[in-house]
């Protein structure tokens, strides 16, 4: 199984590279190299903080775009192109095919994360040359913030693969994943708002419904370490452990559901 899994991952990665998505990421990274120090100079007292903020936000956005492009067009497109028909005639199970798809996307996202980390380091260094901040540059936390963004994208990939496994077109995986991403990023704020003072004015049914949706949606805000990276705040062991375990369990459930759905799908 492993040999066919690795062979499929390699084949998928070649396809992704052929699509020149890496060129796009490198292009944005280069633009970032010029624009971020320029924009950071508008800050009055915290050039370093602004440059880290802009870099991390650009990275997060880039990784999101890459994830959505790759993961939402994964399985349904292969089905449409009849690629699955030819691959699955080989001694390769549907489980192997789906896991290879997920792993190849995950490897590519990690590659993008490494490129963006290197560029971020350069950008921050350039920005701080002129006006060093009172705060030190937390290189470790910056790397952690980008790594957490990568993991967040892995979780989103799980969502997209699941939707892609049941869909026959582009619309459900793309807009479904985007909607779940937006809702999952905001759910923590909404939950805290509803369970606070504001919730007292709401009916019990509404509060229960919102809480239900909160527990059901993937919580993407757990993977946000940007404030820690920008303002050199300490990161606790809990802040690392809980998101890591949460990611593992939630993504496993998503992939399990995707495998279950894909195994039952009739392929042309």
65 versus 186: smaller Cβ distance to other proteins: 186
Q: Is 182 in the site for other proteins (CB under 8 A)?
A: yes
With CB under 8 A as the contact rule, which of the stretches 87-95, 153-161, 225-233, 250-258 interacts with other proteins?
A: 225-233
Q: How many residues interact with other proteins (rule CB under 8 A)?
A: 29
Rounded distance between C-alpha atoms, residue 166 and residue 154, angstroms:
19
Identify the residue among 83, 231, 246, 250 touching other proteins (CB under 8 A): 231
Rounded distance between C-alpha atoms, residue 137 and residue 162, angstroms:
39
Task: Measure the N-to-C terminal CA separation of the chain; round to a whole number of Å.
Answer: 24
State the nearest-atom distance from the C-beta of 210 to other proteins, in Å: 12
Q: Which run of H or E residues covers position 78?
A: helix 75-80
Length of the chain: 268
State the nearest-atom distance from the C-beta of 189 to other proteins, in Å: 5
Q: Which of residues 30-89 bind other proteins (CB under 8 A)?
A: 42-46, 49-50, 53-54, 56-57, 60-61
CA dist list (Å): 152 to 4, 235, 243? 27, 17, 9
Identify the residue among 185, 214, 243, 258 touching other proteins (CB under 8 A): 185
Q: Is 120 in the site for other proteins (CB under 8 A)?
A: no
Rounded distance between C-alpha atoms, residue 207 and residue 209, angstroms:
5
CA dist list (Å): 130 to 41, 71, 232? 9, 41, 20
State the nearest-atom distance from the C-beta of 235 to other proteins, in Å: 15
Triad 247, 27, 141: Cα angle to 5°: 40
Residues that bind other proteins (CB under 8 A): 42-46, 49-50, 53-54, 56-57, 60-61, 134-135, 182, 185-186, 189-190, 193, 220-221, 223-224, 226-227, 230-231
């Amino acid at each position: 199984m492993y040999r066919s899994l690795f062979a499929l991952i390699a084949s998928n990665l070649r396809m992704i590279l052929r699509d020149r998505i890496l060129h796009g990421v490198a292009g944005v990274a280069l633009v970032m190299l010029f624009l971020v120090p320029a924009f950071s100079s508008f800050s009055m007292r915290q050039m370093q903080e602004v440059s880290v903020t802009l870099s991390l936000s650009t990275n997060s956005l880039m990784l999101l775009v890459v994830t959505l492009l790759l993961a939402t067009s994964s399985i349904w497109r292969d089905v449409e192109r009849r690629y699955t028909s030819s691959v699955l005639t080989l001694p390769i199970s549907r489980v192997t095919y789906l896991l290879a798809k997920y792993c190849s996307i995950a490897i590519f996202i990690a590659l993008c994360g490494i490129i963006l980390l290197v560029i971020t380091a350069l950008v921050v260094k350039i920005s701080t040359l002129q006006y060093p901040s009172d705060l030190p540059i937390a290189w470790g936390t910056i790397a952690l913030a980008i790594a957490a963004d990568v993991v967040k994208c892995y979780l989103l990939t799980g969502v997209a693969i699941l939707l892609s496994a049941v869909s026959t077109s582009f619309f459900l995986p793309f807009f479904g994943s985007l909607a779940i991403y937006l809702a999952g990023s905001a759910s923590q704020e909404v939950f805290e708002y509803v369970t606070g003072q504001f919730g007292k004015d709401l009916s019990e049914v509404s509060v229960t419904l919102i809480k239900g949706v909160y527990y059901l949606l993937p919580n993407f805000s757990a993977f946000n370490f940007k404030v820690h990276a920008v303002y050199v705040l300490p990161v606790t062991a809990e802040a690392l452990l809980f998101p890591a375990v949460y990611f593992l369990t939630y993504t496993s459930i998503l992939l399990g559901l995707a495998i279950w759905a894909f195994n039952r799908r009739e392929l042309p």
